[in-house]
Amino acid sequence: MILGIGTEAGVFLYAGLSGMTVMFAYGILSCLRRLIPHSLRMVGAEDLFFWIAASAYIFNGMYETTYGSIRWFFLLGLGSGAGVGYMLEYFVRKAGARISSALPVQKGKNKSLEKKQKSI
């Protein structure tokens, strides 16, 4: 089935959103790993289950929007969405670091932070 250019653009944007969703979900998983230490086996199992679930999510989105056929603009949208999401995350982290460095530190409240600043 041939899709119109407007429909293809909508599918491309949906695919981009799907790529961002998968990328941000993996970012949340990696943040949880930093908060709660895991063994290498557990990390491997988590990755396996995550990528199986992400594949099912992407396949479902592709099946619903492109009527079961693989369209290259959907795959390009996934990659573009993940790339844009990565850039957004990078700029948000950079802005957060800039804002936190501009905030004044109160003396006596955080002793570990004072030790780090004195050693630098």
- Tokens 């957004």 sit at which residue? 88
What's 38's DSSP letter? -
Does 110 have pLDDT greater than 80? no
**pLDDT on residue 69:** 74
Mind listing the pLDDT tens digit for each residue in 47-98? 999 999 999 999 998 888 887 777 888 899 999 999 999 999 999 999 988 9
Residues 51-67 as b or e (16 or more Cβ within 10 Å = b): eeebeeebeebbeebbe
Task: Count Cβ atoms below 10 Å from residue 105 Cβ, excluding itself.
Answer: 11
CB atoms within 10 A of CB 38: 13
CA–CA distance, 77 with 17 (Å, rounded to integer): 8
